[in-house]
Amino acid sequence: MDKHQNDSRQAGESRQAVKMINIDSEDAGQRVDNYLVRILKGVPKTRVYRIIRKGEVRVNKKRVTADYRLQDGDLLRVPPVRISEKAPMATPGAVIIQKLEDAILYEDKSLIIINKPAGIAVHGGSGISYGVIETLRNIRPQDRSLELVHRLDRDTSGCLMIAKKRSMLRYLHVQLKEDKISKIYNALVLGRWPSRKVLVNAPLLKNTLRSGERMVTVDIEGKRSKTLYQVLERFSCANEAVTLVEASPVSGRTHQIRVHCLHAGYPILGDDKYTPDEDNRRFREFGLKRLFLHAAKLKLVLPDGQSLTIDAPLPEDLEEVLETIRN
């Protein structure tokens, strides 16, 4: 390769120097490959695994494998790597910034809980430059470890937890895995949900269509999934019965409440993925323009033993739908 070709290949790239990183308690517990992917922005994963295999990544002067978990006090050597210099990303708009700042329900030194507005994705991707987490990282550069604790669908509003420290993220993930965090949703479903129906227990299987769209179905080969239900209010409008229910997922599967409602025979109104179009169209005259699913409450115990209950008020657009139906 001549000099001109070499210069052309390196255009748009910069070379870092060797880095020696002291791992603290906040970063301890992470796999070394995941940690490197996070700090080496712009470096392909294949290159990260290559430098690990070649022994260029060292922990306490020793070679490690990709699944090595970093420990508090480790000294990590990161070799020089070429990082593609991408065009600067668009910054989040003032509207989304203000919405998220106004949506904070709770904050301490380790945790933020927001009442996520509908229509805002929790993270970027698939043509979305900025979601909740990217926006918070942009406006809070001093919080270097902001991470989503869990996710909500883009059209679902309500309680969303963001960890400000790795230790809190690890703690809450364990709590979620052990079903020690109560997440309560409000959903408006088509039909008269019977009071005796308090549990839907059906395994869920996640599929990806050719278009890239994710669809979830009830399938015996799927993961065990349970959702508890309670009737909050029943309505009769346009000669049809609808029910406002409280849904508490015991497990945390993708689209769990939406698919369990459909499986029970009471699809959530406004759901353009699982509810028939003709059902959604009939309720647009009541002002329903999006999925009627809201993460209304969180109950958890903080690491210091303090019990925490957070309520997220039903958004104005959904309240107006209920008032229109009541009237």
Contacts 24+ apart (CB under 8 A), 143-152: 145/26, 145/169, 146/112, 148/122, 148/123, 149/173, 149/176, 150/176, 150/252, 151/122, 151/123, 152/116, 152/122, 152/295
Of 30, 9, 145, the C-alpha closest to 82 is 9
Other CB atoms within 10 A of residue 273 CB: 16
Euclidean distance between CA atoms 299 and 48, whole angstroms: 39
Active site residue 304: no
Residues 6+ apart with CB under 8 A from 88: none
Q: Coil, strand, or helix at residue 315?
A: coil
Place of tokens 């497990």: 251
Catalytic residue among 27, 33, 74, 153: 153
DSSP state string for 221-288: TSB--EEEEEEEEEEEETTEEEEEEEEEESS--TTHHHHHHHHHT-PBTT-TTTS-HHHHHHTGGGT-
93 to 24, 138, 144: CA distances (angstroms): 34, 11, 21
Q: Which residues of 115-140 are buried (b: 16+ CB within 10 A; e: fewer)?
A: bbbbebbbebeeeeebbbbbbbbeee
Phi, psi of 45, deg, nearest 5: -60, -35
Distance CA 187, CA 248 (A): 11
Contacts of 306 (CB under 8 A, 6+ apart): none
- The residues that are catalytic are 153
